[in-house]
Structure 1
Amino acid sequence: MNNPGLFQARWNLGRLAVCNLLPLALLGFWLWPTGQMLCVMFDEWLFHLLNSPLATHPTWLHIWAVASLRPFDAVVGVILLSLLIRGDWVFKASDVRRAFFGFVSILVLMLVIRVLFSKFAAFMGWQHQSPSMVIDGAVHMSEYFPGLERTWELKDRSSQSFPGDHASVLLIWAMFMGLFSRSLGQCVVVWGLALLFMMPRLVAGAHWGQDDYIGGVLLAIWALGWGYYTPYAAKASDLLLRLTAPLFNLLERMPLVSRLSVVRLR
């Protein structure tokens, strides 16, 4: 059976407190006028560094145009999922199914937190337009590839870019995998991929850096705290294991599919 100790059905109040106070500290720094000024200065520098070469380097333009398409998000999802359910990499093969359901439950929790926080941010007037809509001289990839924008939803601008929802998903995945990583190499791969896949929105100008390193980080930490350091993930993964047992019993009899670690418990 999957290891029932992967998630503990008890409260870790100390770490839960940290996971609540740290996002509040980030939010406080962001709302502090001096902190906001520093964020804007850094973000404008970062935006020009990443976005300006699009106008003069066709290879750079084409790479990030592809990476900014909606279908590419599905490719990223497949890569992240593959690493999550790969047996005997971060998780033992016997733990993969429980880890998968634990992550899904924490991801659902984060989506709920994001909806509530976004509504609160809109109410407080914290929302803002993306840098591609407000910075003079911004390179708009949609102007170079209007067909891609119409057909594949090329993402290079947003009227409400805070918090970075795309980044929050990547960050919660990286934080979750990082909790269980057993080597420095695994941590480097996990965080390297997360940061790499956050880049397209920053290069295209769909998000400010602060949408990710403030908004995305605080959502991910809140979700990790309330999901992992409470009984939530343990109870949710237990429930999902029981509910899906008949389905996986069927999948175990199917060729090829039965070889996946998430399907077999051995």
Structure 2
Amino acid sequence: MNKDNRIQATWRWPALLGLNLLAAALLASWLLPATRALWDAADLWLFQSLNGSLNHYPLWDWFWALTSLRPSDALIGGLMLSLLLHTRWAFRTGELRPALFTFIALLVVLLVVRVVFSKLVTLLGWQHESPSMQVPGSFHLSGAFPELERLFELKDRSSRSFPGDHASVLLLWGLFMALFSRGWKLAVSLALVVLFMLPRLVAGAHWLVDVAVGGLFIALVSFAWGYCTPLAGHIARGLEWACQPLWAPLQRLPLINRLQVVSPQHTPQSGAPQSS
């Protein structure tokens, strides 16, 4: 991976410090009694507003039931990957592979951060159940759509809902894309993050804090230590080296060889602007 490309993970001390402080402040706002009451009130209000919209219109219920399934997560992942690898969205042709490998590297960092943070959450007793398991009168999509529940398992409940894993990945993607998207493309990228987090909130699988505190904390720390240090760069270069033998065979496959990320890549010019 060329060190001159603008996607390079490297030491960015102000961002590293700022992101970690923001993550710490966010977590502290939930833990401190003075502000915990505000989070609790927001949790209950949002859940009752979103979950309360169910059980009135069948098509509305079907929509949220379908978007709460694992196959929908796969479709969302495909869309996120498509935008990441779209040459008219955030990255130029020669930047596609560095962008792809850097984001995969950030996901590796996120996995480590998530495991460590989850153990800390359990140790300190911060874990809790989903709102659908705690709030009386909650509407359960799994009960309303038993066939979908039997085939795919609807994501509308969890005995360990903090932090939001699904949200942390979406938020990490949003942070990464926000660095390189501008104007309406930035707005669309961020709007998609919010939209894709909604099914878990509407179904009652997560409280607001699971997403806005737990998920965002993991995303911020992962991005800080992955992208604002050389860590993700080292992982990305290792992944790129390991995948070198795959490109030539992929370039001979019909349809696959039309993907820009598979085509021979041109090294970005040394004058490309650096991301800060």
Q: Shared topology, TM-score over 0.5?
A: yes
Give CA-to-partner distance per residue, 1:238-264, whole Å, 9 cap, x none: 222222111012212222211211111
Give the Cα–Cα distance (whole angstroms) in 2 for the partners of residues 11 and 3 of structure 1: 12
Q: Quote the offset at 1:4 in angstroms.
A: 4.2
Which one-letter code corresponds to 2:235 in the other structure? A
Q: What do residues 137-164 of structure 1 show as CA deviations (whole Å, max 9, x unaligned)?
A: 1101111111211211111111010001
Output the amino acid matched with 2:197: M
Cα pair 2:109 2:232 within 8 Å, conserved = no
Match of 1:82 in 2: 82
Aligned length: 265
Equivalent residue, structure 1, for 2:201: 202
- Deviation of 1:10 after TM superposition, in Å, equals 3.5
Structure 1, 244-253 or 115-124: larger mean CA deviation: 244-253
- After superposition, residues 5-154 of structure 1 pair within 5 angstroms as 5-8=5-8, 10-154=10-154
Q: Deviations over 1:110-145 (max 9, x none)?
A: 011001101110110000011001111110111111
Amino acid at match of 2:218: L
Counterpart secondary structure, 2:54 = helix
CA distance in structure 1 between the partners assigned to 2:59 and 2:252 by the alignment: 47
Residue type of the partner of 1:240?
A: L
Question: Per-residue displacement from partner, 1:161-220 (whole Å, max 9, x unpaired)?
Answer: 000111001000010011111x21111111111100000000000000010010111100
Q: Which ranges in structure 1 are unaligned for 5 or more consecutive residues? A: none
Runs of 4+ with deviation above 3 angstroms: 1-4, 7-10
What residue identity is the alignment partner of 1:99? A
Q: Give the whole-Å Cα distance in 2 for the aligned partners of 1:78 and 1:131.
A: 29
Equivalent residue number for residue 155 of structure 1:
155
1:123 maps to amino acid: L
Q: Percent identity?
A: 48
Q: Distance in 1 between matches of 2:4 and 2:258?
A: 22
TM-score (norm 2): 0.92
Partners in 2 of 1:70 and 1:238 — Cα distance? 31
Q: Secondary structure at the match of 1:53?
A: coil
Aligned counterparts of 2:188 and 2:7: Cα–Cα separation in 1: 23
- What's the TM-score, normalizing by structure 1? 0.96
- Tell me the distance in 1 between the aligned counterparts of 2:72 and 2:10: 38
- The residue aligned with 1:223 is 222
Larger displacement relative to structure 2 (118-127 or 30-39): 30-39
Where structure 2 has 5 or more consecutive residues not aligned to the other structure, the ranges are: 267-276
> Which has a greater percent of helix?
1
Q: What is the CA–CA distance in structure 1 between the aligned matches of 2:118 and 2:60, rounded to whole Å? A: 32
Higher mean alpha-carbon deviation, 10-19 vs 210-219, is at 10-19
- Closer, same or farther: CA 12–3 of 1 in aligned 2, 3 Å: closer
Q: Is the 8 A contact 2:9 2:226 kept in 1?
A: no
1:253 maps to 252
